[in-house]
Amino acid sequence: MAQYDYDLFVIGAGSGGVRAARIAAGHGARVAIAEEHQVGGTCVIRGCVPKKLLVYGAHFAEDLEDARRFGWDVGTPKFEWPVLRDNVLSEVARLNSIYTTNLDNAGVEIHLARATLLDAHMLDVGGKRVTADKILIATGARPAIPDVPGAEHGITSNEVFHLDHLPERIVIAGGGYIANEFAGIFQQFGSQVTIVNRTDVILRGYDEQIRDRLLQISITKGIQFRFNAQFDRIEKHQDGSLRLSMSGCDDIEADAVLFATGRVPNVEGLGLEDVGVALGDKGQVKVNARAQTNVPSIFAIGDVTDHVQLTPVAIREGQAFADREFGNIDRTVDYAAIPSAVFSHPPLAGVGLTEGQARNKLGSVRVYTSDFRPMKNVLAGRNERSLYKLVVDEATDEIVGVHMIGPDSPELLQVAAIAVKARLKKADFDATVALHPTMAEELVLMK
């Protein structure tokens, strides 16, 4: 490998690319990484992390209201968006610095420039040519923007963290996790929120009972939904407000439009076609089980492959790639029983098969549910109810799916995911003593 400048060159310093670079360097490889934006990628800079901080901020709206029922005199709360926005951006900058330091400490050479493939082993990095024995594409994905006149007047999750002020009326396009998460955030901050979805299903892929419960709660909180609807045109008035001409529902007046209609793999301008790297029908980089493209020296991981667009999956893929190629460790990624969460208001989470998937795959299943009002909501005078659900294979008693909606559901689901991964049985849950009084005890009390 001495004939190359590097043993590994990584394009994209997001979670997956950073993990791959650090592990490969730890195995003794000469590694460089290129990033044209900020080190940290979507999750750290403009995704999971800043969004979760906004979710925390949004929860104070109801927490402060409920505090009075618990004896606290909180006066008249006032929310200031610029304070939260700037604090979140400061935290993002801190994390960016940490990621950069970690790469430096691992001995990874960082190029803050765009990298383009010239051939199977050569790249143009900010105008300089370099070579590598192996090249890893980890460029992630970006928000999709619908092809409608006036779409330039909308924003995406990339820009939402930088808003000068909160919109009084915001329309969110899409029915997935990003749409529902920001709907909860803006609603709690006081905006009038309308979700526009081209179908009549939100959160496709999650358990039907759980997503229906979120829909009911969201409507109760005041979030409006327009199903089977789509944009025809977006016009901007002189005062900055927007008129949305619609199909499937009445036209809408709004102050902001947030597009949350999926994500597109970042493959443009990398030179992939020139080198002959095969792409899929969604533009994703096609790879085998070992993250290798049809060009043997070029690999890809993370959202750019459109396998499972989750940060922990990209990290696992990056680790497995580096261990295989540079650590002589035959490691692959198991995509079964991956837990996922929606940080909506309230949050929901799930792992394994939904009830519908289990019936289609296994035939005979048992379903256990617990529909309850959390103790805190009882004293606070809130009627909002949580729902926990276990899906069990009738033939083996194995728990094949756990799904829940309610406070702290993602925190609880992580532990439940271990049970599904380990193929524990319903009898194992039944034999576990309940931890009282908690919401989590409902998981071992279902009959």
Q: Region 280-302: what's the mean pLDDT? A: 96
Any idea which fold 346-444 has? Enolase-like; domain 1 (3.30.390)
Contact indicator for 441, 429 with CB cutoff of 8 Å: no
Q: Does 151-261 carry CATH code 3.50.50.60?
A: yes
Q: Is the pLDDT of residue 1 over 70?
A: no
What's CA 286's distance to the chain center, in Å? 21
Question: Quick one: which H or E segment has residue 195?
Answer: strand 192-196
Contact indicator for 265, 278 with CB cutoff of 8 Å: no
Please tell me the predicted confidence (pLDDT) of residue 167.
97
Please tell me the predicted confidence (pLDDT) of residue 142.
94
Q: Region 147-170: what's the mean pLDDT? A: 96
How far is Cα 336 from Cα 343, in angstroms, rounded to an integer? 22
Paired tokens of 143: 């928000």
Q: What pTM was estimated for this model as a whole?
A: 0.95
Q: Using the 8-state DSSP alphabet, how is residue 1 labeled?
A: -
Q: What is the pLDDT of residues 121-151, one digit of tens each?
A: 999 999 999 999 999 999 999 999 999 999 9
Instruction: Please state, rounded to an integer, the average pLDDT across all residues of the chain.
Output: 96
Please tell me the predicted confidence (pLDDT) of residue 306.
85
- Whose tokens are 């309230």? That residue is 346
Q: What is the pLDDT of residues 176-223, one digit of tens each?
A: 999 999 999 999 999 999 999 999 999 999 999 999 999 999 999 999
Please tell me the predicted confidence (pLDDT) of residue 116.
97
Q: What is the pLDDT of residues 98-119, one digit of tens each?
A: 999 999 999 999 999 999 999 9
Query: Angle at the Cα of 274 (from 269 to 276), degrees rounded to 5?
Result: 115
Give residue limits of the domains in the chain: 6-142+264-327, 151-261, 346-444
| Percent with pLDDT over 70 in the chain | 100
Q: Is the pLDDT of residue 393 over 60?
A: yes
The type of residue at 242 is L
Please tell me the predicted confidence (pLDDT) of residue 50.
96
Of the CA atoms within 13 Å of residue 140, those in its CB half-sphere come to 26
Q: Region 228-235: what's the mean pLDDT? A: 96
Q: Is the pLDDT of residue 95 over 70?
A: yes
Q: Helices (H) and strands (E) in the chain — how many of each?
A: 12, 21
CATH node for 6-142+264-327:
3.50.50.60
Q: Is the pLDDT of residue 432 over 60?
A: yes
Paired tokens of 273: 């076609």
* 2 — pLDDT class (breaks 50, 70, 90): low
Please tell me the predicted confidence (pLDDT) of residue 307.
85
- Whose tokens are 């025809």? That residue is 232
Same topology for domains 151-261 and 346-444, yes or no? Answer: no
The type of residue at 180 is N
Told to judge if 237 belongs to the known catalytic residues of this protein, a careful annotator would answer no
Q: Which segments of 303-400 does DSSP mark as H helices, in order?
A: 311-327, 355-362, 375-380
Q: What is the pLDDT of residues 35-68, one digit of tens each?
A: 999 999 999 999 999 999 999 999 999 999 999 9
